[in-house]
Amino acid sequence: MSTATATPPARTSPPPRETPRPGRLRRSWDKHWYAWVMVAPVVIVLAVLIFYPLGRGILLSFTDLTEANQLAEICDRSITGAEVCRPNPNAWQYIGLDNYADVLSGKVGRFWQWLGITLIWTVGCVVFHYALGLGLAVLLNRPIRGRGVYRVLLILPWAVPAFVSAFAWRFMFNEKFGLINSLLEAAGISRVEWFADWKTSLLTAIVANIWLGVPFMMVTLLGGMQTIPTEQYEAAEIDGATAWQRFVNITLPGLRSVSMTVLLLGTIWTFNMFPVIFLVNGGGPAGQTEILVTGAFRSAFEGIRNYSMASTYGVLILSILLVFSVLYRRALRKQGEVW
Amino acid sequence: MTVTPMAAPAPQTTGAHPRGRGRRSPLASLGLHATLIVASLIAVFPIVWVLLSSFKPGHAVQSSELTLVKEPTLANYSYVLFDTSFPTWMVNSVVIALCTMLIGILMSATTGYALSRFNFPGRRHLLLVFLVTQMFPVAILIVPIYQIMAALGLINTHAALVIAYLTIAVPFCSWMLKGYFDSIPTSLDEAASIDGAGPFATFWKVIMPLARPGIAVTAFYTFLTAWGEVAYASAFMQTDDRFTLAYGMQQFVPQFNAQWEYLTAAAVLVTVPAGLVFLYAQRHLVSGLTAGGTKG
């Protein structure tokens, strides 16, 4: 089954279905076999472990499968030791769009609230990631003493595994003995019950995630800046452009393609960022700061594992991101003509 | 992308801006360094704070008193190292992360090379698929993948995690390496093929050595993905002797009454190997990572 799903991406584009010229597929193979061999391992792994689960997930979202009703048969050991099996009366079945209706109408979970929080979370994080990353990259792109040291120190948060940073921030925001409250107190400001209110609670997670994500943006943007030819800057200087004018008219346009890519990736990654919310504030207080992924995870996997509900959320999240990417690309293409 | 000609020939150029790049006033230099120092402090501080706390005894960690180090002790480390399964977890994590790294580099390098050099049918679809794979929420894929792993008899084995981590890391890495290979002139390939090297030999002997910065970043990324992942590890690993560090460490944080002092020590020990990989890769990070982005 795996190979059947694996081959289409490689083979479908020149439709080999009708074979008026029998040599066509053959010639295509002769010409491209090494390319296909090189990508085959990745395609197979992705097909088996991403696209098969995805297809299955979409299918599951139309059922009511849970941990409790997954067996088609119930088997009991009788007194003699023989196994007696009978059909499970409460076995799972197809229920059409009921899961989607339940989720979107708010009957199960709090989809719209989570979506709202996810949007605040994603926009907040990505804007700061990009702005801070860009600012630091501009500074680091100048000839400056100790540039290597600064760069290592600034990228360091990236090297720390996300769950460790999440613990570190939770530790620092701890209400009783956390460093941040101690500092506030030392400065004469009253301590803050960070995790008691949803706004401050979300803030702690956003701060932790900004800290976590800036290095990636900074490094990619810095690399992008180094591909901009220095002649452009020299010419601008001769024309008397100020630093700000050089930044707006050379650096930003030169970074356009890098920026567009990292912004899209950053948005997708942040949208699906599981560990930070899960570990820093646990979606608290009382689940008010769950984002879609963590909320879906909790509502589907706490208690009786509800596989069909998990799939429903998965399909919804994927759809949102797909729509976003399509709109994003379209907006870019339009803008590209103006640029 | 030409520079718009400045309307007024900037009369203020006698101020702070007449110096070229690289020559700036002492005041600007000071500001630049100050900003960078503050930023570096913020970047490093949480790590340092955890490091400092890891040397404090439990009661000092959980006090609101502000101290850098008080009654320094190695007790937390000795507890974590000798009284828990930490060393076993560490070995598991190292094995899994190294396997992920090696296989990941091999897979994403060949894929990236094929995507960069050969215009084969299906190429554009594959690039698109890589982007789409980034959109799948891991939390949701876990159950179907678990069932596949169970069907393959891989539950509670290292192989299950290595395979799962490859699916996370390889799409991004292939795509990034494709960009990197794009920046290596194709004339080198042509020269090699005139010398009689096949596509595989060209790739292995000519291109791979040139792509070291890109490979270093891939190594860093794959290692870190495997090193820090929690969700798959918690789903697939069932016995204490198979846990990875990331998952094993959760045992120090029960819902209530977290053992922060042990957690900080464990966090430091977890970060050290990742930090070593980082130090090896960091020189290449800037040039290696962005080539992918510039080509889109």
Q: How many percent of chain A have pLDDT more than 70?
A: 90
**Across the interface, which of A161, A234, A313 has its CB nearest the CB of B246?**
A161
> B30-75, pLDDT tens digit by residue?
888 999 999 999 999 888 888 888 888 877 776 666 666 667 788 8
Residues in B closer than 8 angstroms to A261, CB to CB, are 292-293, 296
Nearest to B66 by CA among A180, A165, A171: A180
Those residues whose C-beta lies under 8 Å from the C-beta of residue A103, and which sit 6 or more positions away, are: A109, A111, A309, A312, A313, A316
A131 touches B: beta carbon within 8 Å: no
B136 and A163 in contact by Cβ < 8 A?
no
| Number of neighbours of residue A78 by Cβ within 10 angstroms | 8
Residue A96 above 90 pLDDT?
no
B50 and A168 in contact by Cβ < 8 A?
yes
Range from A90-104, A223-237, A252-266 carrying the lowest mean pLDDT: A90-104
Q: How many percent of chain B have pLDDT more than 90?
A: 12
Residues in B closer than 8 angstroms to A223, CB to CB, are 286-291, 293-294
B114 and A154 in contact by Cβ < 8 A?
no
What pLDDT is recorded for position A134? 94
Is A223 in a helix, a strand, or coil? helix
Chain B residues 112-141 within an 8 A CB cutoff of chain A: 113-115, 117-118, 120-126, 129, 131-141
What pLDDT is recorded for position A133? 94
Q: How confident is the model at residue A12 (pLDDT cuts 50, 70, 90)?
A: very low
Q: How confident is the model at residue B2 (pLDDT cuts 50, 70, 90)?
A: very low
Question: Which of B24, B143, B229, B271 is the best mutation test for A, with the most CBs of A within 10 A?
Answer: B143
* Minimal C-alpha gap between B37 and chain A (Å): 8
What pLDDT is recorded for position A339? 33
Chain A residues 219-238 within an 8 A CB cutoff of chain B: 219-224, 226-227, 232-237
A310 touches B: beta carbon within 8 Å: yes
CA atoms of B209 and A43, how far apart (whole Å):
25
Residue B154: phi and psi, rounded to 5, are: -105, 0
Of A131 and B86, more confident: A131
A328 touches B: beta carbon within 8 Å: no
CA atoms of A72 and A86, how far apart (whole Å):
9
Most confident of B160-164, B212-216, B262-266: B160-164
What pLDDT is recorded for position B125? 84
> B78-124, pLDDT tens digit by residue?
888 888 888 888 899 999 999 999 999 999 999 988 888 888 888 88
Sign of CA dihedral A138, A134, B168, B98: positive
A139 and B13 in contact by Cβ < 8 A?
no
* Minimal C-alpha gap between B294 and chain A (Å): 5
A32 touches B: beta carbon within 8 Å: yes
Is A83 in a helix, a strand, or coil? strand
Q: How confident is the model at residue B289 (pLDDT cuts 50, 70, 90)?
A: low
**Across the interface, which of B5, B110, B290 has its CB nearest the CB of A258?**
B290
What pLDDT is recorded for position A120? 94
Residue A111 above 60 pLDDT?
yes
> A35-91, pLDDT tens digit by residue?
888 888 888 888 888 888 888 888 888 888 887 777 777 777 766 767 777 777 777
- Residue owning tokens 């890891």: B54
State which residue of chain A sits closest to B110, comparing Cα positions.
A38
Please classify residue A13 by burial: count the beta carbons closer than 10 Å to its beta carbon, then call 0-12 exposed, 13-18 middle and 19+ buried.
middle
B21 touches A: beta carbon within 8 Å: yes
A227 and B63 in contact by Cβ < 8 A?
no
Q: How many percent of chain A have pLDDT more than 90?
A: 16
Q: How confident is the model at residue B14 (pLDDT cuts 50, 70, 90)?
A: very low
Residues in A closer than 8 angstroms to B294, CB to CB, are 223-224, 227, 257-258
Residues in A closer than 8 angstroms to B167, CB to CB, are 45-46, 49-50
Residue B19 above 70 pLDDT?
no
Residue B295 above 50 pLDDT?
no
State ipTM.
0.79
State which residue of chain B sits closest to A255, comparing Cα positions.
B294
> A70 with A92: CB under 8 angstroms?
yes
**Across the interface, which of A219, A220, A241 has its CB nearest the CB of B6?**
A241
Residue B171 above 70 pLDDT?
yes
Residue B9: phi and psi, rounded to 5, are: -75, 50
Residues in B closer than 8 angstroms to A312, CB to CB, are none
Residue B138 above 90 pLDDT?
no
Of B174 and B17, more confident: B174
* Minimal C-alpha gap between A76 and chain B (Å): 23
A168 and B47 in contact by Cβ < 8 A?
yes
Average pLDDT (A291-305) is 81
Residue A263 above 70 pLDDT?
yes
B290 and A153 in contact by Cβ < 8 A?
no
What pLDDT is recorded for position B290? 60
What pLDDT is recorded for position A3? 37
Residues in A closer than 8 angstroms to B49, CB to CB, are 168, 171-172, 179
pTM of the entire predicted model: 0.81
Of B24 and B281, more confident: B281
B144 touches A: beta carbon within 8 Å: yes
Most confident of A4-8, A139-143, B64-68, B288-292: A139-143
What pLDDT is recorded for position A2? 37
B184 touches A: beta carbon within 8 Å: no
| Number of neighbours of residue A113 by Cβ within 10 angstroms | 16
Q: First vs last Cα of chain A: how many Å apart?
A: 47
Nearest to A34 by CA among B52, B175, B117: B117
> B292 with B177: CB under 8 angstroms?
yes
Is A141 in a helix, a strand, or coil? coil
Nearest to B233 by CA among B172, B133, B135, B163: B163
Average pLDDT (B213-228) is 88
SS (H, E, C) chain B: CCCCCCCCCCHHHHCCCCCCCCCCCHHHHHHHHHHHHHHHHHHHHHHHHHHHHCCCCHHHHCCCCCCCCCCCCCHHHHHHHHCCCHHHHHHHHHHHHHHHHHHHHHHHHHHHHHHHHCCCCCHHHHHHHHHHHCCCCHHHHHHHHHHHHHHCCCCCCHHHHHHHHHHHHHHHHHHHHHHHHHCCCCHHHHHHHHCCCCHHHHHHHHHHHHCHHHHHHHHHHHHHHHHHCCHHHHHHCCCHHHCCHHHHHHHHCCCCCCCHHHHHHHHHHHHHHHHHHHHHHHHHHHHHHHHHHHHC
> A135-169, pLDDT tens digit by residue?
999 998 888 888 888 988 998 898 888 888 888 88
Residues in A closer than 8 angstroms to B125, CB to CB, are 9, 12-13
What pLDDT is recorded for position B294? 45
A255 touches B: beta carbon within 8 Å: no
> A169-210, pLDDT tens digit by residue?
888 888 877 888 888 888 888 888 888 888 899 999 999 999
A268 touches B: beta carbon within 8 Å: yes
Q: What value does the mean pLDDT of chain B take?
A: 79
Buried b (16+ CB within 10 A) or exposed e, A139-157: bbbeeeeeeeebbbbbbbb
Length of chain B, in residues: 296
* Minimal C-alpha gap between A185 and chain B (Å): 9
Chain A and chain B share a number of CB contacts under 8 A equal to 319
> B139-154, pLDDT tens digit by residue?
667 778 888 888 888 8
**Amino acid, res. B295:** K
A13 and B122 in contact by Cβ < 8 A?
yes
* Minimal C-alpha gap between A315 and chain B (Å): 9
